[in-house]
Structure 1
Amino acid sequence: MDRWQNRVAVVTGASSGIGAECCKDLVAKGMIVVGLARRVDRLAELKAALPADQSPRFYGRQCDVSVEQQVIDSFAWVNETLGGADVLINNAGIIRRIHLIDEGNSADILNIINTNLLGVTWCTREAFLSMKKRQINDGHVVIINSIAGHGVPMVPGYSLNMYAPSKHAITALTEVLRQEFLNKGTLTKITSISPGVVNTEIFDETSPEIIAGMPMLRSEDVADAVTYCIQTPPHVQIHELTIKPIGEKF
């Protein structure tokens, strides 16, 4: 992690779970971290909980990644205040307990697509433009994908609805971005990390009874994987990393 000392990482969905753990881990390893999330109070709590020598390197900013202008404004702030982003961790994502064939679910379907897919697209574009403007050629974009982006696990009594298609799109988007980075002549890396079930708030709001008793990863496990991927040598790119808890049946 030596080459990332005092360089800037932007983490989306930073108010809890994987995003919060990524912020804590990257700050502890010497990076300057900007956490983006809708719940600004949670970001303040995260900063307050950091050790005194690390807290000054963490910045929280309210941003709903599904709203393009908020993403543009947030990265403009990063550029003006901190000099720009070198690493982007696309972590923000949502799931809703709906069925695609039910009535009255249009708003939830759009929210999933706007957050899980378009939010990643807006953030990656703005991060890349920040790097390009500063002639940064060794940046890294990480996308927190899902095993649901490579298959559709059958969970009795539950539908992965638009969540699974949004993650399948992320799998394709990762490859499209790799090709675009290559065509631009940059050495900036792109990595998709696909965890199995992770014990986070994403399920607390929709289906705690469905995941009861399931083997689960911790948020820290995924944060460790992020660090592993971004510290690879310049000639090594981990394009896809799949992580499952022992005993997962999917």
Structure 2
Amino acid sequence: MDLTDKVVVVTGSSAGLGEQICYEAARQGAIVVTCARRINLIGQVKEKCMALSGKAAYAFQLDIADPHSVENVLAKIADEVGNVDVLVNNAGFGYFEDFVNFDLDMAKNMFEVNVLGMLYFTQKIAIQMVAEKSGHIFNVASMAAKMATPKSTIYSATKFAVLGFSNALRLELKPVNVQVTTINPGPIETDFFGKADPSGNYLENIGAIVLTPEKIAKIIISKVGTNTREINRPHMMEVASRFYTLFPRIGDFLAGGLFNTK
């Protein structure tokens, strides 16, 4: 898809992968809408997008877990920007802890952010895309949705939900020319791990397979308008996830051993 003057909405885009997706879309001439809770940071993202694209860009403060905030942002997009051509659902967070010690209030919040808020935000935009018979929705899940590992019980559960939702939504919207792509990244070098793993040990232990947000963002934007089912990176973890499904015992060994570095 030629992204010139196309409206690209990215949630969770104050930093990390979401921020880089905004910049890559702006480089392609898109009208970028950055949405996140940290209003000061998305203001900076907006300014850089305008500089990269030479076009208007927008920044709306969004708490994806709050239905009122979602409604407010969707109304602003409809009134101030117009129809959405590309939606990237990137908002989400994780925390690594053994389930028996997990704070279930945090678990509830993780589902509200990673799953329920994403569903609510997506439905409103999907209705518009169906009416237009055009659009592309990207849902950021995780390799944790394909291969759960110890200390990721709640995070994996939310991302399994995102993957299942995306698979069904893709089939529902395909007849009306709306594409749905699931993004399943492994660990990305972002501030996600500042909350998920405050010790910093996880990224240090898996340094060889850590992804950069800039590279993943380029891959995502290159797939806009294409019939792409999934984006899975790194390739090593994609292969491991296939073993996880096809050869359960080997899968448990990989998930509980080789990739158990939290």
190, 193, 200: which one aligns with 1:200: 190
Which amino acid in the other structure matches residue 164 of structure 1? Answer: S
Is the CA contact (8 Å cut-off) linking 1:34 and 1:61 kept in structure 2?
yes
Distance 1:70 1:174, change over 3 A: same
Which amino acid in the other structure matches residue 150 of structure 1? Answer: K
Is the CA contact (8 Å cut-off) linking 2:145 and 2:156 kept in structure 1?
yes
Q: CA RMSD in A?
A: 2.0
Q: TM-score scaled by structure 1?
A: 0.87
Tell me the distance in 1 between the aligned counterparts of 2:180 and 2:51. 32
Which amino acid in the other structure matches residue 102 of structure 1? Answer: N
167, 170, 175: which one aligns with 1:178: 170
Q: Does 1:25 align with 2:20?
A: no
The corresponding residue for 2:204 is 212
Give structure 1 stretches of 5+ with no counterpart.
none
Is the CA contact (8 Å cut-off) linking 1:64 and 1:71 kept in structure 2?
yes
Tell me the distance in 1 between the aligned counterparts of 2:112 and 2:66. 8
Q: Does 1:67 align with 2:60?
A: no
234, 248, 251: which one aligns with 1:244: 234
Which amino acid in the other structure matches residue 45 of structure 2? Answer: L
Give structure 2 stretches of 5+ with no counterpart.
241-257
Is the CA contact (8 Å cut-off) linking 1:27 and 1:57 kept in structure 2?
no
Which amino acid in the other structure matches residue 199 of structure 1? Answer: E
The corresponding residue for 1:229 is 223
Instruction: State the Cα deviation string for residues 10-49 of structure 1 (Å, max 9, x = none).
Output: 1000000000000011011011111110000111122334
Is the CA contact (8 Å cut-off) linking 2:11 and 2:34 kept in structure 1?
yes
Distance 1:57 1:151, change over 3 A: same
SS at match of 1:35: strand
Distance 1:53 1:13, change over 3 A: closer
Query: Which aligned pairs between 1:1-250 and structure 2 lie closer than 5 A?
Result: 1-2=1-2, 4-50=3-49, 52=51, 54=53, 56-102=55-101, 105-132=103-130, 135-154=131-150, 159-182=151-174, 185-207=175-197, 208-214=200-206, 215=208, 216-232=210-226, 237-244=227-234, 250=259
Count of aligned residue pairs for this structure pair = 236
Tell me the distance in 1 between the aligned counterparts of 2:233 and 2:46. 28
Alpha-carbon shift at residue 56 of structure 1 (Å): 4.3
Alpha-carbon shift at residue 217 of structure 1 (Å): 0.3
Instruction: State the Cα deviation string for residues 192-211 of structure 1 (Å, max 9, x = none).
Output: 01011111111023321222
Distance 1:238 1:34, change over 3 A: same
Is the CA contact (8 Å cut-off) linking 1:33 and 1:59 kept in structure 2?
yes
Is the CA contact (8 Å cut-off) linking 1:86 and 1:136 kept in structure 2?
no
Which amino acid in the other structure matches residue 175 of structure 1? Answer: N
Which amino acid in the other structure matches residue 108 of structure 1? Answer: M
Is the CA contact (8 Å cut-off) linking 1:94 and 1:116 kept in structure 2?
yes
Tell me the distance in 1 between the aligned counterparts of 2:196 and 2:106. 12
Q: Percent identity?
A: 26
Alpha-carbon shift at residue 176 of structure 1 (Å): 1.7
Which amino acid in the other structure matches residue 153 of structure 1? Answer: T
Alpha-carbon shift at residue 153 of structure 1 (Å): 2.9
Once superposed, which parts of structure 1, at least 4 consecutive aligned residues long, lie more than 4 Å away? 245-249
Q: TM-score scaled by structure 2?
A: 0.83
The structure that is helix-richer by fraction is 2
Which amino acid in the other structure matches residue 215 of structure 2? Answer: D
